[in-house]
Amino acid sequence: KAGVTQTPRYLIKTRGQQVTLSCSPISGHRSVSWYQQTPGQGLQFLFEYFSETQRNKGNFPGRFSGRQFSNSRSEMNVSTLELGDSALYLCASSLLGAENQPQHFGDGTRLSIL
């Protein structure tokens, strides 16, 4: 079974630009969560999507947004990029259940802002 696939693996952008990252979940998984990983702040939750709806959101500015498609694939978008947005962006997928289900991560997209 293929794991979580994130594209692209690496991105270099300049301040003020916008970027879109893509995530394909494990087949059959319908919940997709996004996390930002930096050396200073560690792993921080961005948002979670299920059935094309954002159901949970972390404490990030409105420049960070996302969406989910009917096939469960998800994208996140960051507008007006800032130097501090340089990070590893991780996507995790899980089954939907009554209780918290294990989240499985992709290898991330490394975003560098110049």
Partner 1 sequence: GENVEQHPSTLSVQEGDSAVIKCTYSDSASNYFPWYKQELGKGPQLIIDIRSNVGEKKDQRIAVTLNKTAKHFSLHITETQPEDSAVYFCAASRTVPSGANSKLTFGKGITLSVRP
60 binds partner 1 (CB under 8 A): no
Neighbours of 9 (CB within 10 A): 10
Nearer to partner 1, 43 or 114 (CB): 43
Residue closer to partner 1 by CB (options 14, 112) is 112
According to the binding rule CB under 8 A, does residue 31 interact with partner 1? Answer: yes
Minimum CB separation of residue 48 from partner 1 in Å reads 6
Find the part of the chain contacting partner 1 (CB under 8 A) among 14-22, 63-71, 72-80, 92-100. 92-100
Q: Tokens at residue 94, please?
A: 């899980």
- SS3 of residue 3 by DSSP: coil
Measured CA to CA, the distance from residue 20 to residue 44 in angstroms comes to 18
By C-beta, is 15 or 107 nearer to partner 1? 107
| DSSP calls for 42-108 | EEEEEEEEETTEEEEE-S--TTEEEEE-TTS-EEEEE-S--GGG-EEEEEEEE---SSPPP-EE---
Instruction: Please report, as ranges, the residues that interact with partner 1 according to CB under 8 A.
Output: 4, 6, 31, 33, 35, 42-45, 48, 50, 55-56, 58, 90, 94, 96, 98-108
